[in-house]
Amino acid sequence: MKRKLIDLDLETERRLSILASANGMSLKKYIQYVLFAHGNEHSIKIEKDEKKQKDAVKNQLSILDDTNSIIK
């Protein structure tokens, strides 16, 4: 686990503190929870995008192979 220092303006800290309290968490735990959830959500989207790109390349290679077999 890595430690990071972050700077929050007073209004953001106040709002996050209210949300943390409403969820029964300390401000630190709430920020960690939100960042963890957000980071994992986006990593899934990145993996899906990478898979789409790989599939597109495979399709292009398949088309090239088909074209080459027709030409020969």
Reported as a single tens digit per residue, the pLDDT across 34-57 is 998 887 776 566 677 777 777 777
Q: Which residue is associated with the tokens 């899906």?
A: 48
The alpha carbon torsion through 25, 8, 40, 58 (nearest 10 deg) reads 170
Cα–Cα distances in Å, from 13 out to 4, 8, 9, 30, 72?
16, 6, 6, 11, 68
Taking a C-beta distance cutoff of 8 angstroms, is the pair 38, 48 a contact?
no
Taking a C-beta distance cutoff of 8 angstroms, is the pair 27, 13 a contact?
yes
Is 67 a residue whose pLDDT tops 80? no
pTM beyond 0.85: the answer is no
